Amino acid sequence: MLEFFGTVSIDWMGKAKFFFSLSILLLAVGGISLFLHGGPLYGIDFRGGTLLYVRFVKEPSISVIRSSLAQGGFPQANIQRIGNLARPDIHEVVIGLDERELNEQHLDAGRIAIEDALHRSFPVPDPAKPDLNAATPAAIADTLLRRDPLGFGSSAADRYKAIAAVITNFRDSQRGGLLASVDELRDPLTASADVQQGRGGAAAVVGALRDAYTEGSFAIRNVEIVGPKVGAELRQQALLATLYALGGMLVYIAFRFEWIYGAAAVLAVFHDVLITLGLFSIFRFEISLTVIAALLTLVGYSMNDTIVIFDRVRENLRIMRREKLSEIVNKAINQTLSRTILTSGLTFLTVLVLFLLGGSSLRAFSFAMVVGIVVGTYSSFGIAAPMVVAWYRWRDQKGTVGAVASSRGR
Amino acid sequence: MQMNVRIRAILIALVILLCIYGLFGLPAFPTSLAKARSNFSDRIRLGLDLKGGTHLILQVQTEEAVKQYTDQTLDRLRKELNDSGIRFEDIREPDDQHINVVNLALDQAGRFQEIIRNNYQDWEMAPTPGQASGYTISLRAAAIAAIKTDTMQQSVDTIRRRIDELGLTEPVVSEYTRGQDEILVQLPGEGDPTRAKSIIQAGGQLELRLEVGSRTYTSPAEAYSSQPNGILPPNTELLPGREESTAGQGGKSSDVYYLVERYAPVTGRDLRSAKAVPSSDYPGFYEVSFTLSNAAAKRFGEFTEANIQRQMAIVLDHRVYTAPVIQSRIEDQGRITGRFDLPQANDLALVLRSGSLPASVKYLEERTIGPSLGADSIREGIQASIVSLAVVMLFMLVYYRLAGLNAVVALLLNLVILLAALAYFQAVLTLPGIAGVILTIGMGVDSNVLIFERIREELRNGKPNPSAVEVGFNRAFLTIIDTHVTTVVSAAFLFAFGTGPVRGFAVTLVIGLIANIFTAVYVSRTIFAWHLGRMSREAPLSI
CATH number at residue B341: 3.30.1360.200
Higher pLDDT, B93 or B244: B93
What are the phi and psi torsion angles at B45 (to 5°)?
-80, 125
A122 reaches B (C-beta below 8 A): no
CA dist B86 and B92 (Å) reads: 16
Across the interface, do A359 and B369 touch by the CB < 8 Å criterion? no
Q: What's the CA gap between B473 and B480, in Å, rounded?
A: 10
CA distance B215 to chain A (A): 35
User: Which residues of chain A have a CB within 8 Å of the CB of B363?
Assistant: 107-108, 227
Domain span at B74: 63-144
B539 pLDDT higher than 80: no
Residues B505 and B444 in one domain: yes
* Cis check: omega of the bond before B188, within 30 degrees of 0: no
Residue B177 CB-density burial (10 A; 0-12 exposed, 13-18 middle, 19+ buried): exposed
| Chain B residue whose CA is closest to A297 | B490
| Number of CB atoms found within 10 A of residue B402's CB | 12
CA B173 – CA B179 distance, rounded (Å): 15
Distance from CA of A364 to the nearest CA of B (A): 11
Q: Specify which of B79-93, B142-156, B160-174 reaches the highest per-range mean pLDDT.
A: B142-156
Same domain, B361 and B215: yes
- Residue in B closest to A110 by C-alpha: B366
pLDDT confidence of residue B243: 60
For residue A56, the one-letter residue type is F
Instruction: Give the CATH number, domain containing residue B444.
Output: 1.20.1640.10
For residue B300, give every residue at least 6 positions away whose Cβ sits within 8 Å of its Cβ, in sequence order, or none. Answer: B208, B265, B266, B270, B292, B330, B331, B332
Q: Does B149 reside within a domain?
A: no
CA dist B249 and B252 (Å) reads 8
Q: Are B502 and A365 inside 8 Å of each other by CB? A: no
Contacts B373 to A, Cβ<8 Å: 53, 177, 221-222, 361
Considering the domain architecture, whether residues B113 and B222 belong to the same structural domain is answered as: no
Position B355 pLDDT exceeds 60: yes
- Chain B, nearest residue to A225 by Cα: B366
Q: How near does any CA of chain A get to the CA of B381, in Å?
A: 5
| Closest Cβ opposite residue B365 in set A3, A225, A339 | A225
Within 8 A of A105 by CB-CB distance, chain B residues are 362
Of B366, B442, B494, the CB nearest to A351: B442
Q: Which of B384, B401, B506 sits opposite A358 (nearest CB)?
A: B384
> Which helix (H) or strand (E) element contains residue B280?
none
Range name among A379-388, B298-307, B421-430 with the lowest pLDDT average? B298-307
For chain A, 410 residues long, the average pLDDT of each consecutive 10-residue run is 71 86 92 89 87 89 87 84 76 84 76 87 85 86 85 80 87 85 86 80 86 88 86 82 82 81 88 93 90 87 85 85 84 85 88 87 91 92 89 76 43
| Greatest distance between any 2 Cα atoms in chain B | 115
Average pLDDT over all residues of chain B: 85
Q: How many CA atoms lie less than 13 Å away from A66 in the CB half-sphere?
A: 10
Could you tell me if B408 and B490 lie in one domain? yes
Inter-chain touch B485–A339, beta carbons under 8 Å: no
- CB contact at 8 A, B138 and B98: yes
Q: Is residue B177 part of a domain?
A: no
Is residue A335 within 8 A of residue A405, CB to CB? The reply is no
User: CB distance from A362 to chain B under 8 Å?
Assistant: yes
Domain layout of chain A by residue ranges? 13-43+227-407, 49-122, 137-215
pLDDT of residue A409: 43
Q: How many structural domains compose chain B? A: 3
Residue B300 sits in the same domain as residue B353: yes
Helices marked H in B165-293 — which ranges? 194-201, 220-225, 246-249
CA angle (A205 as vertex; A203, A208 as ends), nearest 5: 110
- From B438, B453, B502, residue closest to A354, measured CB to CB: B438
Number of neighbours of residue A255 by Cβ within 10 angstroms: 10
Q: Which of A140, A342, A344, A355 to mutate to test the interface with B (most CBs of B within 10 A)?
A: A342
Task: Please check the confidence at residue B1 and state whether its pLDDT lies above 70.
Answer: no
B186 located within any domain: no
* pLDDT surpasses 90 at B305: no
| pLDDT tens-digit map of B66-88 | 988 888 888 888 888 888 888 88
State the Cα angle at B227 between B226 and B233, rounded to 5°. 150
Distance CA A149, CA B234 (A): 66
Are B434 and B296 in the same domain?
A: no
d(CA A110, CA A318): 67
**A350 contact residues in B (CB cutoff 8 A):** 388, 391-392, 438-439, 441-442
A221 touches chain B (CB under 8 A): yes
Average pLDDT for residues B239-263, to the nearest whole number?
66
Which of B336, B367, B398 is the last residue before a domain boundary?
B367
Over the stretch A53-85, which tens digit does the pLDDT of each residue have?
Answer: 999 988 888 888 888 888 888 888 888 888 776
Given an 8 Å threshold on Cβ–Cβ distance, is B372 in contact with A177? Answer: yes
Helix (H) or strand (E) holding A52: strand A49-56
Q: Are A323 and A334 in contact (CB under 8 A)?
A: no
B510 at interface of A, judged by CB pairs closer than 8 A:
no
User: Which residues of chain A from 87 to 116 reach within 8 Å of chain B, CB to CB?
Assistant: 104-105, 107-108, 111
The residue among B519 and B168 whose pLDDT is bigger is B519
The answer on B379 and B292 residing in a single domain is: no
From CA B41, how far away is CA B73, in angstroms rounded?
55
Has residue B253 got a pLDDT over 70? no
Q: Which of B319, B351, B367 finishes a domain?
A: B367
**Can you list the alpha helix ranges (DSSP code H) found in B498-523?**
500-517
Q: Are strands B312-316 and B266-267 parallel, antiparallel or unpaired?
A: unpaired
Other CB atoms within a 10 A radius of the CB of residue B391 amount to 17
Mean pLDDT score, B414-435: 91
**Residues A389, A378 contacting (CB under 8 angstroms):** no
Average pLDDT value for residue range B29-50: 82
Instruction: Name the nearest CA neighbour of B158 among B354, B358, B362.
Output: B354
Whether the Cβ atoms of residue B88 and residue B81 lie closer than 8 Å to each other: yes
Interface probe for B, chosen from A50, A337, A357 (most Cβ of B below 10 Å), is A357
B453 interfaces chain A, CB cutoff of 8 Å: yes
> Which of these three, B321, B344, B367, is where a domain ends?
B367
Residues B489 and B415 in one domain: yes
Give the one of B367, B442, B499 whose C-beta lies nearest to A347's C-beta: B442
Using a CB-CB cut-off of 8 Å, the residues of chain B touching A178 are: 372
| Max mean pLDDT range (B126-140, B151-165, B277-291, B482-496) | B151-165
Residues of B whose CB is below 8 A from A2:
398-399, 401
CATH class of A13-43+227-407: mainly alpha
- Give yes or no for a contact between B271 and B290, defined as CB atoms under 8 angstroms apart: yes
Residue B397 — very low, low, confident or very high, per pLDDT cuts 50/70/90? very high
Does the CA dihedral B115-B118-B122-B126 come out positive or negative? positive
From chain A residues 244-263, the ones with a CB under 8 A of any chain B CB are 244-245, 248-249, 252, 256
Q: How far is B148 from chain A (nearest CA, A)?
A: 21
CB-CB under 8 Å, A293 with B487:
no
- pLDDT exceeds 60 at position B56: yes
Going across the sheet that includes B135-139, the strands are: B90-95, B98-102, B135-139, B123-127
Topology of domain A49-122, per CATH? Answer: Histidine-containing Protein; Chain: A; (3.30.1340)
**Per-residue pLDDT at B282:** 80
Asked whether residue B300 falls in the same domain as residue B341, the answer is: yes
pLDDT value of residue B254? 65
Residues paired with residue B127 on neighbouring β-strands, in sequence order: B135
Residues B119, B38, single domain; the answer is no
CB proximity B379 to A under 8 Å:
yes
Distances (CA, A) of A92 to A75, A170, A172, B50, B377: 20, 19, 15, 19, 16
Q: Is residue B181 part of a domain?
A: no
Length of chain B, please?
543
Number of residues that this document lists for chain A:
410
Residue B387 pLDDT: 92
What value does the mean pLDDT take over residues B366-378?
Answer: 89
Examine the domain organization and report whether B355 and B427 are in the same domain: no
Residue B439 and residue B510 in one domain: yes
| Calpha distance A408→B247 (Å, rounded) | 87
